[in-house]
């Protein structure tokens, strides 16, 4: 008998600070309306220097986990391209500060923006094998961009983390086991060769994304073992979103090759099938490996047409490159569970920063990221720590001593 497995809950941490892209466009002499229309991004999330990928990972999961969840988690995977140590995995801190049991297999995964999906598929396979028994898995994608002041890709940077609880009683989305297509190639499109550098060939990355999408979908069709009509097989589609406009490019590619649609018809198809997943992603900027999970959460919370059993197609891409196209069926408590995450509320509660404050934070983080001895100042932006952290039980970075990182609850 096949064991049902999939997503029970998703928790998202969008950071505590936000920068308006209109403000950034004005400061850089860019047309804000043209930017919004093309990139479909209106804000970006930003971390103060007392947060990092570890704190984001913990803060994404902590609020959604019950005592029963914590006791049942026996596999913990964190996907990131923003690791804070070349040897010690983020998962060890996450296991400690989430209060998970000691009998918990845990490790960190790296493959650019694909890492979260890689970890997720590992967790799904483990539970589906039957070897997990009643145990659950927790998969977290956590990332923040490096400093890109004045560079063209500055406008699509961001930060965020998504925590996904995987179980054999999925309330949000049941994964269709075996219905997954994947594709890989070696390409130097984007890279982080040091802790301060994030660089690459943006055009090559976008073209490789499209190649990967078409190839992964072709493999998905093959593995389904039956004809798959893109127009009717899926009710909705979620795509990896380095910026919102990339999903339009991706979906137009699919409907042109699969359905022969172009122009206004292709856009209308995207507006129906994918646009409902973008409301929150548009307010966070690039969220790297967590973007597909954030898009899925948004879709399940907002789309009134979705019903239990409806099929959603999901595409994940990671530079370097690897991609996966898979599908799932909407769970019986999807909408209520997704809305309980209150992502719009978390986004609304972020403190807005000026361009000058944003630049100061990015410069200070770059100064400190390779420094093994410092205590993050809590004075900039003014009032941010008191407003969003003091007494609110969020994990924060307290400092480093000879590269040993110290964390604590606010």
**Average pLDDT score over residue span 231-243:** 97
* Residue-level pLDDT at 386: 97
The answer for residues whose C-beta is within 8 angstroms of residue 7's C-beta and 6 or more apart is 164, 165, 166, 170, 171, 172, 173, 175, 296, 328, 331
The answer for residues whose C-beta is within 8 angstroms of residue 348's C-beta and 6 or more apart is none
Domain boundaries, the chain: 6-409
* Residue-level pLDDT at 130: 94
Q: Does 273 score more than 90 pLDDT?
A: yes
Q: Is the distance from CB of 310 to CB of 232 less than 8 angstroms?
A: no
13-35 burial, b at 16+ Cβ within 10 Å, e below that, comes to bbbbbbbbbebbbeebeeebeeb
**Average pLDDT score over residue span 56-63:** 98
The CATH number of the structural domain formed by 6-409 is 3.40.47.10
63-94 burial, b at 16+ Cβ within 10 Å, e below that, comes to bbbeeebbebbbbbbbbbbbbbeeeebbbbbb
3-state secondary structure of 156: helix
The answer for residues whose C-beta is within 8 angstroms of residue 336's C-beta and 6 or more apart is none
pLDDT in tens, 182-220: 999 999 999 999 888 998 899 999 999 999 999 999 999
**Average pLDDT score over residue span 273-288:** 97
Report how far residue 368's alpha carbon sits from residue 360's, in angstroms, rounded to the nearest whole number. 12
Q: Count helices and strands (H / E) in the chain.
A: 15, 16
81 is catalytic: yes
214 is catalytic: no
CA 329 to chain centre: 20
Q: Is the distance from CB of 33 to CB of 362 less than 8 angstroms?
A: no
Question: Is residue 107 left, alpha or beta, with left meaning phi > 0 and alpha meaning psi from -120 to 50?
Answer: beta
Report how far residue 163's alpha carbon sits from residue 65's, in angstroms, rounded to the nearest whole number. 10
Confidence category of residue 172, pLDDT binned at 50, 70, 90: very high
403 is catalytic: no
Cis peptide before 381 (omega within 30 of 0): yes
Backbone angles phi and psi of 183, in degrees to 5: -155, 145
pLDDT in tens, 296-320: 999 999 999 999 999 999 999 999 9
What would the two tokens of residue 390 be?
Answer: 């003091």
Confidence category of residue 1, pLDDT binned at 50, 70, 90: low
Report how far residue 226's alpha carbon sits from residue 208's, in angstroms, rounded to the nearest whole number. 27
Q: How far is CA 153 from CA 190, 201, 334, 394, in A?
A: 12, 11, 35, 30
Given the residues 43, 113, 269, 357, the one annotated as active site? 113
Given the residues 43, 51, 81, 154, the one annotated as active site? 81
Q: Does 290 score more than 80 pLDDT?
A: yes
The answer for residues whose C-beta is within 8 angstroms of residue 194's C-beta and 6 or more apart is none
**Average pLDDT score over residue span 29-46:** 94
Given the residues 240, 251, 269, 357, the one annotated as active site? 240
Report how far residue 34's alpha carbon sits from residue 18's, in angstroms, rounded to the nearest whole number. 21
């Amino acid at each position: 008998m096949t064991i049902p497995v999939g997503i029970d809950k998703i928790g998202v941490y969008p950071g505590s600070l936000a920068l308006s892209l209109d403000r950034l466009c004005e400061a850089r002499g860019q047309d804000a309306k043209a930017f919004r229309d093309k990139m479909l991004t209106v804000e970006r999330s930003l971390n103060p220097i007392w947060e990092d990928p570890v704190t984001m990972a913990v803060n994404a999961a902590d609020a959604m986990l019950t005592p029963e969840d914590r006791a049942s988690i026996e596999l913990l995977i964190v996907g990131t391209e923003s690791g804070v140590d070349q040897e010690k995995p983020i998962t060890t801190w996450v296991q400690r500060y989430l209060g998970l049991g000691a009998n918990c297999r845990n490790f960190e995964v790296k493959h650019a923006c694909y890492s979260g999906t890689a970890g997720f598929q590992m967790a799904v396979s483990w539970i589906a094998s039957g070897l997990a028994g009643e145990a659950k898995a927790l998969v977290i994608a956590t990332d923040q961009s490096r400093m890109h002041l004045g560079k063209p890709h500055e406008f699509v940077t961001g930060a965020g983390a998504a925590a996904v609880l995987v179980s054999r009683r999925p309330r949000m989305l049941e994964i269709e086991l075996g219905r997954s297509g994947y594709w890989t190639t070696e390409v130097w499109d984007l890279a982080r060769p040091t802790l301060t550098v994030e660089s690459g060939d943006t055009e090559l990355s976008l073209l490789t994304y499209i190649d990967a999408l078409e190839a992964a979908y072709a493999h998905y069709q093959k593995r389904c073992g039956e004809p798959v009509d893109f127009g009717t097989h899926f009710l909705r589609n979620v795509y990896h979103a380095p910026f919102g406009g990339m999903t339009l490019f991706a979906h137009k590619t699919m409907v042109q090759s699969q359905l022969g649609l172009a122009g206004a018809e292709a856009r209308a198809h995207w507006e129906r099938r994918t646009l409902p997943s973008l409301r929150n992603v548009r307010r966070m900027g690039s969220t790297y490996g967590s973007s597909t999970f954030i898009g899925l959460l948004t879709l399940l919370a907002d789309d009134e047409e979705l019903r239990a059993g409806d099929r959603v197609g999901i595409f994940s891409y990671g530079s370097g490159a690897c991609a996966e196209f898979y599908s799932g069926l909407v769970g019986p408590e999807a909408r209520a569970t997704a809305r309980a995450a209150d992502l719009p509320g978390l986004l609304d509660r972020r403190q807005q920063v000026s361009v000058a404050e944003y630049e100061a934070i990015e410069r200070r983080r770059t100064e400190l990221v390779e420094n093994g001895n410092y205590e993050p100042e809590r004075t900039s932006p003014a009032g941010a720590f008191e407003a969003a952290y003091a007494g609110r039980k969020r994990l924060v970075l307290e400092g480093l001593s000879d590269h040993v990182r110290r964390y604590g609850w606010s």
